[in-house]
Amino acid sequence: MASFFIIGEKKTRPGVYMRYENYGTPPVAGVDDGKCAAVIRSNWGPVGKAVVLEQSEDIAKIYGDGGDEGTTAVPMEQFKGGAQLIYAVRLGSGGTQGMYNIQDDQEEEVLRLTLKYPGTRKLSLTIRPTLADENVTELLITEGTEQLEKITFSNTVNSVAALLEAYESNGSDYFEITLIKESTNKLQNVDQKEIEGGTDPAVNAGAYSAAFEILEAYRWNVMALDTIDTQIQSLLQLFLDRIYDDGKFCMGVIGEPTSVDFDTRLQHASAYNDYQIVYVGNGFVDISGNVYEGYLAAARIAGLIAGTPSNESITHAAITGATELTETLTNNQHERAIKAGALMFSVSAADTVWVEQGINTLVLPTAKEDEGWKKVKRVKVRFELFQRLNDTVEPLIGRINNDPDGRMTIIQVSNGVCQTMVAEKKLLEGAHVELDPDNAPEGDSAWFVVFADDIDALEKMYYTFKFRFAPEDTE
């Protein structure tokens, strides 16, 4: 009768002994792209918590309209740009929740309705018998003329207990109800009473730092801020640099409006000198006359970068819905902007607003950096190679030996990633991995070198025209 053995084991009895192992290699990790991060202000929604937005409709559902000071347009612009998923964090600390004490028909306060989130969102409460049945009461939450939620309960015996039971059974996206005082009386009718007392959380530089730390736990590609405050933008750069050292390959997009002097904008862009920071220096106007500059234009570009595959470029990518520029630049100004690392919008020969060139703020590469790091496309390819190699070989850590066979397995698996990206037109033929000849394997460590030429987009075409007055007479 057959049984199993382990390597090195010698059985006592005669017989057939078996063992099995994985002869194949782990699959090549796929592309993890199209994900944005956004930090926003709003008058509604969870504070200091990362919320996954999978479609633009989720924004209003979770954060309302944002209020007068809200910046929920940031994730909306990211979706317009092409983001497929957004991790959003509502900024701030403190704030108060709106509250209303519900009375019975003897004017005794019996139930407390407290809004679910702090903020100044203007929601109203109605409690009334239904038209169809006077023995059934409905509680309505409305915003303006829109009904957001309804709970129905019996008012024939003990409407206080009936409402509590209905609330506990159905829950609510907008409020919580707690008992103040027992009562067997019917509840007093309420007609479109605004739920007051809510205040928005306070937002300062510390709130942004706290939001960055929350988002650090998630995997995303590009972040957009909701501010043109240069201090906060600098905090973003420091954050991205720190998590990059920890193996997170992300970019951030910032912007300033055209009310800032042109030369000042170029100085600000070049001062970042960072391939993780994209600086948007002008803006556009949509068909309705809405202006998109500063953080709104930056959010659109963030979505465009995240949503564009790394085998494509955002250079000359059309801006959906844009009809004109907020600032028309001369040829000389465009050249100066490119040299300063400022991404600008321009207009095509067909009067389409598009991205002039997909660049970041790196203007002076260090000795270990080549000119390719200046291009958004090439940074995306390189970040993707980093991430896919990590995701492919990480499951092998501790599961193979540091011997020639184990190291060859790593090389084969890593070459699989390279060849996959070659087939995807992201790397040129010849990309490969080999052992580092300058660092011999030892103990539990081995060193490898990756040779890869990432593919740039064709952005400059040069034609030579040869004219002549007349063809030569061959007779």
pLDDT tens by residue, the chain, 475 residues: 567 777 778 777 767 677 766 666 778 888 889 999 999 999 999 999 999 999 999 999 999 999 888 999 999 999 999 999 999 999 999 999 999 999 998 899 999 999 999 999 999 999 999 988 888 999 999 999 999 999 999 887 788 999 999 999 999 999 999 999 998 888 999 999 999 999 999 999 999 999 999 999 999 999 999 999 999 999 999 999 999 999 999 999 999 999 999 999 999 999 999 999 999 999 999 999 999 999 999 999 999 999 999 999 999 999 999 999 999 999 999 999 999 999 999 999 999 999 999 999 999 999 999 999 999 999 999 999 999 999 999 999 999 999 999 999 999 999 999 999 999 999 999 999 999 999 999 999 999 999 999 999 999 999 999 999 988 876 6
Q: Do both 149 and 269 map to the same domain?
A: no
C-alpha 157, offset from chain centre: 51
Q: Is residue 337 part of a domain?
A: yes
Q: Do both 236 and 87 map to the same domain?
A: yes
Final residue in a domain of this structure, among 194, 211, 235? 194
Yes or no: say if 280 and 298 are a contact pair by the CB < 8 Å rule.
yes
Between the CA of residue 360 and those of 50, 239, 260, 326, 372, what are the distances in Å? 27, 17, 19, 21, 11
Q: Do both 243 and 120 map to the same domain?
A: no
Beta carbons within 8 Å of 207's beta carbon, 6+ residues apart: 91, 92, 93, 201
Yes or no: say if 215 and 37 are a contact pair by the CB < 8 Å rule.
yes
Q: How far apart are CA 319 and CA 292, in angstroms?
A: 11
Threshold 0.85, pTM exceeds: yes
Q: Please give the residue range of the domain that contains residue 125.
A: 99-194
Task: Give the CATH number, domain containing residue 245.
Answer: 3.40.50.11780
Q: Is residue 457 part of a domain?
A: no
Q: Do both 181 and 216 map to the same domain?
A: no
Q: How buried is 83 (Cβ within 10 angstroms: 0-12 exposed, 13-18 middle, 19+ buried)?
A: buried
Pairing of strands 109-115, 175-179: antiparallel
Angle at 310 between CA 85 and CA 89, to 5 degrees: 25
Q: Which two tokens stand for residue 234?
A: 């600098």
Buried b (16+ CB within 10 A) or exposed e, 29-63: beeebbbbbbbbbbbbbbbeebbebeeeebbeebb
Task: Give the CATH number, domain containing residue 171.
Answer: 2.60.40.4290
pLDDT at 24: 67
């829950």: which residue's tokens? 171
- Residue 178's φ and ψ, nearest 5 degrees, are -130, 155
Q: Do both 53 and 157 map to the same domain?
A: no
Q: Do both 190 and 238 map to the same domain?
A: no
Q: Do both 115 and 188 map to the same domain?
A: yes
Final residue in a domain of this structure, among 168, 194, 220? 194
Q: Is residue 291 part of a domain?
A: yes
Q: How buried is 431 (Cβ within 10 angstroms: 0-12 exposed, 13-18 middle, 19+ buried)?
A: buried
pLDDT at 10: 78
Q: Do both 329 and 267 map to the same domain?
A: yes
| Residues β-bridged to residue 434 | 449
Yes or no: say if 207 and 42 are a contact pair by the CB < 8 Å rule.
no
Q: Is residue 310 part of a domain?
A: yes
Yes or no: say if 302 and 253 are a contact pair by the CB < 8 Å rule.
yes
pLDDT at 22: 65
Q: Is residue 172 part of a domain?
A: yes
Q: Is residue 441 part of a domain?
A: no
Q: How far apart are CA 278 and CA 343, in angstroms?
A: 7
pLDDT at 144: 92
Q: Do both 158 and 271 map to the same domain?
A: no
pLDDT at 21: 63
Buried b (16+ CB within 10 A) or exposed e, 267-291: ebbbbbbbbbbbbbbbbbbbeeeee
Q: How far apart are CA 473 and CA 475, in angstroms?
A: 6
Number of folded domains that form the chain:
2
Q: Do both 64 and 182 map to the same domain?
A: no
Final residue in a domain of this structure, among 305, 324, 355? 355
Q: How far apart are CA 413 and CA 403, in angstroms?
A: 16
Q: Is residue 377 part of a domain?
A: no
Q: Do both 212 and 337 map to the same domain?
A: yes
Give the dihedral sign, CA 232/235/240/243: negative
Q: Do both 234 and 351 map to the same domain?
A: yes
Q: Is residue 288 part of a domain?
A: yes
